[in-house]
Amino acid sequence: MDQPVVSSDPRSIGVYPTFVSGVSAAAKNFLPLLGVYLFLAAPVVVMLTLGCPTMFGMAAIARIGASIENIGIPAHEWIALAGTLLFAMGVGSWTYAASYHMADTVLAGEPCPGVGAAYGATLERVPAFIGTYICLIALTMVGAMFFLLPGIYVAIVLSLAPVRAVARGRGPLEAIADSFRMVKGRWWRVFGFLLLVALCIQAVYLPVGVPLQVLAGMQGGLPMWYIPFTISLSMLLGIFQLVCSAALHRRLEALGPVGTSHAPPMPEDTAADEPG
């Protein structure tokens, strides 16, 4: 796959060409990526629909204007909800790892692996991926405790750690250190890239989601299909967000840390060089 044009500014990341590269890769390989996501989405929707019928039925009851205050939710539905959430967190981590592997592979110009191959190649990386996400969330929360801005700074500077843990076989602390080195000196550009991706996603989601919410309000409640539809739409848009993150990772990996004289790629099996 073609790489973005290199700028003379060592801090430049080529926001627009990197974004186009990510969107193009997601569009060309949408069906395999969708297959990876369906491995998670389909069971979750089925488990919620069959295991929590009262919770889903409350939306339909509200739609006809009836009160839901006196409706009791059986204990087994709370157990089913908890089980579904545990399933989503466990299998969801594997799904994201498989998606990052698939995205990184196609961005490297190689053939897109199948769904089974993507899951098989990343099974052993799931613990490191989960550990990296736990560290990322914990550090972001620590930053947010001091004020909102430090939390945002930490979230951006460590945003490449998850894909690093999967695509380059790094441990949680190594992935976090790599992400910091790659983003350091380019924070505002990385922030702009991630903001561009988020705005594009909202530009697709809001024209669909807001009218449905308004329509539901006019009819007295949400239709039963609204929640599954929202989950499905969010996952579909998440495909593009994930591939764009993988594209950003490859771009910064190729550039190397700011301050290196020849901007070598980040090594796959050893820690990255410190900026000179």
What would the pLDDT profile of 59-76 be if each residue is shown by its tens digit? 544 444 445 555 677 888
Contact (Cβ atoms closer than 8 angstroms) between residue 6 and residue 17: no
Amino acid making up residue 239? I
* pLDDT grade for 179, boundaries at 50, 70 and 90: very high
Say if residue 56's pLDDT is above 70: no
Q: Which of 90-99, 191-200, 207-216 has the lowest mean pLDDT?
A: 207-216
Contact (Cβ atoms closer than 8 angstroms) between residue 252 and residue 178: no
Within its chain, how far is the Cα of 161 from the centroid? 12
Q: Which of 200, 203, 164, 160 is nearest to 184 (CA)?
A: 160
Q: Which of 46, 29, 24, 165 is nearest to 96 (CA)?
A: 165
- Report pLDDT digits (tens) over 5-14: 445 566 778 8
Contact (Cβ atoms closer than 8 angstroms) between residue 226 and residue 212: yes
- Distance, in Å, from the CA atom of 12 to the CA atom of 252, rounded to the nearest integer, reads 9
Q: Give the contacts of 90 (CB within 8 A, at least 6 positions apart).
A: none
- Distance, in Å, from the CA atom of 106 to the CA atom of 37, rounded to the nearest integer, reads 17
- Report pLDDT digits (tens) over 182-199: 999 999 999 999 999 999
- Report pLDDT digits (tens) over 4-48: 544 556 677 888 899 999 999 999 999 999 999 888 888 888 888
Say if residue 146's pLDDT is above 60: yes
The percent of residues above 90 in pLDDT, for the chain, comes to: 48
| Rama region for 103: left / alpha / beta (φ>0; ψ in -120 to 50; rest) | alpha
Say if residue 269's pLDDT is above 60: no
Say if residue 219's pLDDT is above 80: no
Q: What is each CA distance from 98 to 105, 111, 118, in whole angstroms?
A: 11, 15, 5
Instruction: Please report the pLDDT score of residue 264 as a whole number.
Output: 45
Q: What is each CA distance from 267 to 81, 255, 259, 262, in whole angstroms?
A: 42, 12, 16, 14
pTM over 0.85: no
